[in-house]
Each structure stands twice: as structure tokens, then as C-alpha cells.
Amino acid sequence: MTTSKTLPTPQIVAEYNAMKADIEHHSRLYYQEARNEISDQDFDARLRALAELETAYPSLRTPDSPTQRVGGAPVEGFETVSHRVPMLSIDNTYNAEELREFDARVRRGLDGDVPAYMVELKLDGVAMALRYENRVLTQAITRGDGLQGDDVTQNVRTIRGVPLKLSESAPPSLEVRGEVFMTIAELSRLNEIREAAGEEPYRNPRNTTAGTLKLLDSREVAKRNLSIFLYSMLEDEERPPVTHEETLALLKSYGFPVNEHHTRCADVDAVIDTCMGWTTRRFDLDYEIDGMVIKVDDPQQRARLGFTSKSPRWIISYKFPAEVRQTRLREISVQVGKSGALTPVAELEPVPLAGTIVKRASLYNFEDLAKKDLRVGDLVEVQKAGEIIPQVLRFVPESRPADTVPYPVPTACPVCATPAHKDPDDAILRCVNLSCPAQLKERLAHFATRKAMDIDGMGPALIEQVVSRELVRDPADLFDLTEETLSSLERMGEKSARNLVAALEACKQKRSLKHLLFGLGIRHVGSSTAEALAQHFGAIEALMAASREALEDVEDVGAVVAQSVLDFFDTLANQDLIRRLQERGLNTTEAQPIAVADDSNPIAGKNFVVTGKLSMFTRDEIHEHIKALGGKASGSVSKRTDYLVAGEKAGSKLEKANSLGVTVLTEADFQQLLGGAT
């Protein structure tokens, strides 16, 4: 049997190099030319064979091996790295007239010379710089503030479109720049998994991409199929500048994926035609773009035009206008949320909009509905807010049917007929019946989410069945479900039933009071407030007995949250729910951190607020450091705040901290404080 100490023979080395070259060949075909010579299964089999050979002979494995895309152990945080050349922002234009004004400025800057332009798609993703030494990927850095970014190399290595090693035609030392993005199909795949697990779906590809690149565990990043296109490279004294069109060709020859949709335009009229042509063509793509990028093609002309303090003078973007479509308002339904909120929803004649078919749109509340005077039967204008959320803008007055009538404000819940209650502080109508089936489904889904009780397998289809069959009337009933009962449900075999019962048992031990409080869905109590309450009181009995004053003494808990918590635990049905959850073995306590600061840990027991624009840390990273060392991270400055960590443009929180005499730290000060926490 081969051991890790066995050295490979020359024949094995040759076999390994051939396998590696074969995999790299098929990767280039797929990511650069969008074609396959082998199936995905065959590709995966070849990759596994390479990994097995590397396991047998570890000396063969190098950082540029295709097997090194699976991700490694979690990192503690991201190092901040300075860009060699700033990654500047780009000014925007919104119509043809503004594009002509840009062209006029360029011509003036070139003393009347006529420029040609390259027009590319403006990908809605995350800008990235890749550095190569000896043609091997050594560093990947986010744009950050343009001067500094996060080193996310370990995460970017998992992106199959990123070459770990360049072709021999590439220069040994090179920095290239591009955009990391997620396809619409990949977002849909991830959301199917999340919805099946009862989790909130991701909202859009761009935010999901940014969040994925910030994950500290690259093994999780590898599970999300991010993509990348490269579009520029830093100039080098040894390489004369070339046109942008030639740059794209060189990038492709080096092994980088380059977007095929780019057009060289002889004048601004051609630029405008190209931009306008993509206004509708963009919806045929499997990734999102929010505009076009226009660049002067000639490098010497770019050098003559130069830069402003914020952006190059030779480049600009054209942002697409929000697409507005007309469709018929067929019906107005009322949706009941987990907190009992009654929300009017527009049921529309299906209409294609921004790449999807839109059938429904939230109308927010009944006051907004009345203000817009929307009526069933109206022809309405619809757009996607931020290209994401469908919204009804207005009805078309000249097309209103004569028999339409204003929609009546409901007086009762449409599901359980309980009289509707109007919040005194806002425009929301609510169903106050905690046993309402519609609320129950939403509450159970929330109870099972990862931030709450993390019950794997408790998806929407299962919740629908257990509620409709009256097997579950509140969260405590979940823990009475048996394998026999569950396996009798549709699409629930014995194995699925067994796994769910195991997940329910596991959460009793693995989840603590903070998870339970968040899972109960108490109004105004999010995950951070739930954690603050749990750590402050330590046990649910102490929390249930707390006075208003005691609640308001908790960091981040004001009068509104305190009243909401009091109302929840003053309700007899909720008191009974807590008792039944305890009887079923759920953990209703929280381990409280030792809150004593000393020379070895100056952070323990201290209250921190973080504000302003940060460059050395992300806000989440600072919060994680504080909590790990027994401190508390809050969102607002008060007399209980010990330290304010202030970045650039700290604003009102800094003013309040100064007025209260709170100690203000820079990021460097905070890092020094961390150094003392040993």
C-alpha cells in the first residue's frame, strides 16, 4: 500500500502532469469558450483521480493544482491589503444626452482628436484584483475603499473560472482585474435548498456574491458556484500599453475568462446604439448587468485624458433605466405574516419584467393602497425596485374601468376571522390570534431557521402538512412528533422522518436561550437583541419576571422592545408555551461570559459601539472579536457604552460619545486593545 512517504517515480510524475494538463484543458474550454468535450460527471471523475494521486504522493500537490479549489480550513479574518494602483470608481450616465456630454468632454481633453470606444457589459458583481507571481495565483483582493481591500485569496481559489496557473504566454508577474458574480441559475439552486430547509431565500445575485466572498470558511464558498470575468490588467514597464480590445484578447490567451459581449464603436452614435440595444437584450443573459461600461480604446489617448481624484476621465458607465411595464390588477389578496401583519398583495396578470415573470407585488399596507387608489380591474404600471422587488407604481387613469370600486380595509383576519387590530404607532393591521393557521406556518418556519433552532428538514411542505392536519398547533407540538407520524406524511419516508426527529432532539442540546428567544418571534426582538437579553438574564424565568426598568437596563433594549417583551410574557398562552417547551427538554438558559476586565483581557465585560467607514476590519469582524473575548457589541451609544470604535465619517454617534465622555478608539487603538487580550 502506498504511503505518504513514498516518492513518486518519473513515470508517476509524468502521469500526474498529464492528468493535470487534461483537467486544465477542459476547464479552459468550459470557462473561456463555454463548451464541453466531456460530461460534468467525467470531469469530476478525473478530478477525483488526480486528488487520489496527490493523496498517495503529497509531494506532487502544488498551490496551482485543480484539486485546491475545494477550500481549506476556516480563517480567523481577512487581512487588509493596499492596492498597488487604486481601484477607482466610475461616473454614471443615464441617457443618450449624458453620453454625448461625456464624448464632448473626451474630445475637448484630446484637443479635437476623435476617439474610438469599447463598450462592455457592466456586471452586477464584486470587483476583484488578482495577482500572479511566476504565473501562479498568489493573492486576490476585493476593491474595498479603492485604496485598500480584503485579501480573499482562499475564497477566490474556489472559483473554477479563476486560473490557478497561467499559460506560458503570460508574463511571470501580472495583476489583472475583473468582476466576481453569481449566475441567476446558481442563485435559484441555492434558494431551492434554503427554502426546503425553511430558510429565507437570498434576495439577489450581487449581495449573495458579496456575502459569499466574506465567508470565513472557504469550504462553504466552494459550495456556491461563483463565476468571474476579467477585463483589465495593470501596465508594466516591460509591456507597452495596448488598446482595450487587445487587452481582452491577451487576457483570454493567458487563460482568463473574458466576457464575449464587447463592441468597438467608432463614435458616440454607435455607443448609444449599443447601449440602447442591451436595454432589453440583458434579460436573455444568465447573469445580471445593470448597465454598460464605455472606455476610450486607445492607450495613448487614455494617458492624455488622465484622472480626476475619483475616477478616470476616459471611462464612464451607462446605467439602465428601471423597466416599467403595464399589466392588469386581477385581484387584491391579504397575506398574514408571522407577527400577524395583514399585508395587501397585488395579484397581477403575469408580465415579463427585468428578466422574470411577475405575478404578484406587495402593496405594503392599506394606507399606501388607499393613497395610490389602486382598484381591482385597473391597468397598472409595475417596476422592480432596485431591479429586485416588484412594486406597483400607479394605475393608468385613462384606462380605469367604470365599475371599479376602492378596496375595503379588512375588519378581520382573512384566515381565522379574528377582528383586525391596528397598531397605534404605525399603519399596520394585525391578526392578534396566535393560533391563526397562517401565522402558525410562518412562525414555525421562523422557529426552525438556522439563526433560531436550526431544525434541518423542517421545510415549507412539511409545515403545511403538520398544520393542515392539526398535528402541530404551536412550536412545542413539534417535539411530540414521532417517526411513525411523520413517515405517514406525503414525501416523508422512514429515513426523512428519522432524520427530522433526530434534528428535533439535537436542537434541545445544541441551542440555547438566545436561539429560543429569537425563534419565538417576539416583535422587535431580532437575533442580536435576543442574544443581549439571554446573556443579561441567563435564564428564561428571570427574563419572564423582569420589570420594564430591568428590561430597559439591557443594552439595545428601549421602551418599544421592553413593552413588546412584557406583552409577550404577560400572555397566558405564551407562558403555557414556555412551560411546555421546558417539559420537552429545551434549553432555556444561557451561559453568561465572565464579565471581568483585567490586564490580560481589557475587553471582557465592556460595552462597544462601532461606527464610521472602516479600513482595517469589517464591522462583523470587530463584533466577533468583542463577543469572543466576553465584551458586548451594541448598535447605539448610551451612558453604558465603554468604548466607541470610530472609522472615517463617524457622524452623530461620535458626537454623542464625546458628549457622554465615552472613550473613542481608532481601528489601530482597537487592534492594540486586542493585542492586550491574551
User: Is residue 560 pLDDT above 90, yes or no?
Assistant: no
Cell numbers standing for residue 294: 464605455
Cell numbers standing for residue 599: 490586564
User: Is residue 6 pLDDT above 70, yes or no?
Assistant: no
67 within a domain of the structure (yes/no)? no
449 within a domain of the structure (yes/no)? yes
Q: Encode pLDDT of 629-664 as tens digits.
A: 778 887 778 888 889 998 887 777 888 888 888 999
Indicate whether 190 and 206 sit together in one domain.
yes
- Mean pLDDT over the full length of the chain: 86
561 within a domain of the structure (yes/no)? yes
Indicate whether 443 and 415 sit together in one domain.
no
121 within a domain of the structure (yes/no)? yes
Indicate whether 167 and 296 sit together in one domain.
yes
User: Is residue 115 pLDDT above 90, yes or no?
Assistant: yes
Q: Would you state the pLDDT for residue 2? A: 43
Indicate whether 521 and 493 sit together in one domain.
no
SS3 631: coil
Among residues 319, 348, 375, the one where a domain terminates is 319
Q: Which residue has the higher pLDDT, 467 or 598?
A: 467
Q: Which residue has the higher pLDDT, 67 or 541?
A: 541
Q: Encode pLDDT of 453-487 as tens digits.
A: 999 889 888 999 999 999 999 999 999 999 999 99
CATH of the domain at 494: 1.10.150.20
Indicate whether 360 and 269 sit together in one domain.
no
Indicate whether 482 and 415 sit together in one domain.
no
Q: Would you state the pLDDT for residue 40? A: 60
**pLDDT category, 67, cuts 50, 70, 90?**
confident
Q: Which residue range(s) make up the domain with 443?
A: 437-511
User: Is residue 390 pLDDT above 80, yes or no?
Assistant: yes
Indicate whether 138 and 283 sit together in one domain.
yes
Residues of the chain above pLDDT 70, percent = 91
77 within a domain of the structure (yes/no)? no
For residues 639 and 553, is the Cβ–Cβ distance under 8 A?
no
User: Is residue 26 pLDDT above 50, yes or no?
Assistant: yes
d(CA 158, CA 140): 11
Indicate whether 664 and 542 sit together in one domain.
no
**pLDDT category, 503, cuts 50, 70, 90?**
very high
Please name the residue that has the C-alpha cell 478525473: 46
Q: Encode pLDDT of 184-199 as tens digits.
A: 889 888 888 877 766 6
Range scoring the smallest mean pLDDT among 58-72, 415-429, 532-546: 58-72
Among 275-284, 397-406, 610-619, the range with the most confident prediction by mean pLDDT is 397-406
Q: Encode pLDDT of 504-532 as tens digits.
A: 999 998 999 999 999 998 888 888 889 88
pTM: 0.53
d(CA 527, CA 516): 10
d(CA 631, CA 215): 23
428 within a domain of the structure (yes/no)? no
Q: Would you state the pLDDT for residue 326? A: 93
d(CA 369, CA 363): 6
For residues 91 and 243, is the Cβ–Cβ distance under 8 A?
no
The CA-based angle 446-451-452, given to 5 degrees, is 55
d(CA 27, CA 162): 10
Q: Which amino acid is at 263?
A: T
User: Is residue 129 pLDDT above 60, yes or no?
Assistant: yes
Q: Which residue has the higher pLDDT, 491 or 152?
A: 152
Q: Which residue has the higher pLDDT, 275 or 385?
A: 275
Q: Encode pLDDT of 288-327 as tens digits.
A: 898 999 999 999 999 999 988 778 999 999 998 877 889 9
d(CA 563, CA 498): 41
Q: Would you state the pLDDT for residue 1? A: 39
User: Is residue 219 pLDDT above 70, yes or no?
Assistant: yes
Indicate whether 497 and 627 sit together in one domain.
no
Among residues 482, 511, 540, the one where a domain terminates is 511
User: Is residue 427 pLDDT above 70, yes or no?
Assistant: yes
Q: Would you state the pLDDT for residue 657? A: 87
Among 85-94, 154-163, 356-365, the range with the most confident prediction by mean pLDDT is 154-163
User: Which of 5, 20, 122, 510 does the annotation list as catalytic?
Assistant: 122
For residues 133 and 175, is the Cβ–Cβ distance under 8 A?
no
Mean pLDDT of 370-393: 86
For residues 446 and 427, is the Cβ–Cβ distance under 8 A?
no
225 within a domain of the structure (yes/no)? yes
Mean pLDDT of 411-437: 82
Among residues 567, 583, 599, the one where a domain terminates is 583
With CA atoms as reference, report the closest residue to 378 among 360, 391, 390, 396: 396
User: Is residue 73 pLDDT above 70, yes or no?
Assistant: no
Mean pLDDT of 357-374: 90
82 within a domain of the structure (yes/no)? no
Cell numbers standing for residue 637: 451609544
Q: Encode pLDDT of 662-676 as tens digits.
A: 999 988 888 888 776
**Tally of domains within the chain:** 6
Mean pLDDT of 44-62: 81
Indicate whether 103 and 220 sit together in one domain.
yes
CATH of the domain at 28: 1.10.287.610
* DSSP β-ladder status, 117-123 and 289-296: antiparallel
Indicate whether 487 and 454 sit together in one domain.
yes
With CA atoms as reference, report the closest residue to 295 among 274, 323, 322: 274
Q: Would you state the pLDDT for residue 33? A: 57
Please name the residue that has the C-alpha cell 444561557: 590
The rounded radius of gyration (Å) of the Cα atoms in the chain is 29
Instruction: Please state, as a whole number, how many other Cβ atoms lie within 10 Å of the Cβ of residue 91.
Output: 14
CATH of the domain at 415: 2.40.50.140
Mean pLDDT of 74-97: 82
Indicate whether 283 and 374 sit together in one domain.
no
Mean pLDDT of 392-421: 92
The burial of 514, by beta-carbon neighbours within 10 Å (0-12 exposed, 13-18 middle, 19 or more buried), is given as buried
Q: Would you state the pLDDT for residue 3? A: 45
User: Is residue 4 pLDDT above 50, yes or no?
Assistant: no
371 carries an active-site annotation: no
